[in-house]
Amino acid sequence: MGIKQQSKGRVPLVPGANPAGEATMRAVVQHRYGPPEVLELSEVEKPHPGRGDVLVRVSAASVHPGDYFIMTGEPYMVRLVFGLRRPRHGIPGRDLAGTVAAVGKDVTALRPGDEVFGWSAAGTLAEYACVPAENLVSVPSNVPSLSAAAVPTSGLTALQALRKIANVQPGQTVLITGASGGVGSYAVQIAKAFGAEVTGVCSTRNVDLVGALGADHVIDYTRTDFTRTEKRYDVILDNVEAQPLAAVRRALTPTGTLIPNSGHGGRWLGPLGRIIKARVLSGFTRQQLKPFTSIGKRQDLLTLAELLTTGQLTPVIDRNYPLDEAADALRYVGAGHTRGKVVITI
């Protein structure tokens, strides 16, 4: 099922509003929090780049669980950040790839025609997006735009978790749960690129995929509970949190690092309960319990671009939806069984 088509949008239309041509564009909009049915395909005003901005003609945008939480407004604590009564930015989506259509006065590093990828807080499920220039880097020549669009948020999360938070070193043992998902599929490849011995945890249908991503060992969680084996890991990146914190800690070395990285939890606070528990516990153990929030950081996106260029990182694209089926894409992401990434082509 696609999304509601609006003849002309509720967002005001301003003719002749920007330097790159037409005044309006097609965009997915939402005027209230709720299930995927709240999404509408509308004709809206095309954004106008400010001095430091780039107007990108979007070719592809990827969606991830965070986009689902922002669409539904649950856990409710997301509303403190994204708007109390309705989403502050009417257009969903954060990650994108596309072609530079116009640049603001202060932008010198990019020119119209350049192929770029990156992130924008102002929404990317649209034909055009206005993006601060520092949120964009060039798409490596060996990478299709569709794949580049799948990288930013999930890739940055995996990279920052393994490099900045866990400081993974060659030879260390790293276990990644949700190894078949958006973050996990990048984390397996990045941990391998860092020289770690990687164990991926996934369901039976994804065992071959996680092995193909480079995992040295694959644990099928339908058959084996990794918290009940003798094996201990230097680093655990827990993208699923299917087991209690105490059980996951049993699989960690006495001074190992655990990153609880799930956005799930109760309807009000989401992961906050587990985050607080992990922070309190870390004061009483030599194990490092380090929940974190990934950030958009250009230098890290350049690292990911480098890994894409060298072939050490290859996005896994699970499904590809057209813009008018964005609701289906988010419904699928919300179900939590994604294999790699879900992309919307525009």
Contacts with ligand NAP by CB under 6 A lie at 64-66, 153-154, 157, 177-178, 180-184, 201-203, 206, 221, 239-240, 242, 261-264, 292-294, 336-339
Cβ neighbours around 30 below 10 Å, total: 25
Shortest spacing between CB 207 and ligand NAP, in angstroms: 10
In the complex, least distance from residue 78 CB atom to ligand NAP, rounded to whole angstroms = 11
Minimum distance from CB of 176 to ligand NAP (Å)?
9
Residues 6+ apart with CB under 8 A from 59: 97, 98, 99, 145, 146, 149, 345, 346
Minimum distance from residue 237 beta carbon to ligand NAP (Å): 9
Which residue minimizes CB distance to ligand NAP? Answer: 181
- Of the pair 189, 261, the CB lying nearest ligand NAP is at 261
Bridge pairing between strands 288-289 and 252-260 = parallel
φ/ψ of residue 131, rounded to 5: -130, 130
**Nearest to ligand NAP of 4, 164 (CB atom):** 164
CB 11 within 8 A of CB 23: no
Burial class of residue 7 in the structure, from the number of CB atoms within 10 Å of its CB (0-12 exposed, 13-18 middle, 19+ buried): exposed
Supply the minimum distance, in Å, between the C-beta of residue 202 and ligand NAP. Answer: 5
Name the minimum Å distance from CB 129 to ligand NAP: 20
Least Å distance, CB 53 to ligand NAP, is 24
Cα within 13 Å of Cα(152), Cβ side:
30
132: left (phi over 0), alpha (psi -120 to 50) or beta: beta
Of 46 and 339, nearer to ligand NAP (C-beta) is: 339
CB nearer to ligand NAP: pick between 66 and 118: 66
309-320: b or e for each residue (b if 16 or more CB lie within 10 Å)?
A: eeeebbbbbbbb
Question: Which residue lies nearer to ligand NAP by CB, 238 or 325?
Answer: 238
- CB 274, min distance to ligand NAP, A: 11
For ligand NAP, give the closer residue by CB, 137 or 156.
156
What's the angle, vertex CA 128, arms to CA 126 and CA 130, rounded to 5?
Answer: 115
Which residues is 116 bridged to in the sheet? Answer: 98, 138
- Our CB check for ligand NAP shows the closer of 117 and 128 to be 117
Which CB contacts under 8 angstroms, 24+ apart, belong to 67-70?
67/92, 67/93, 67/94, 67/330, 67/333, 68/330, 68/333, 68/334, 69/263, 69/270
- CA triple 65-263-181, angle to 5 deg: 50
Output 88 or 337, the one with its CB closest to ligand NAP. Answer: 337
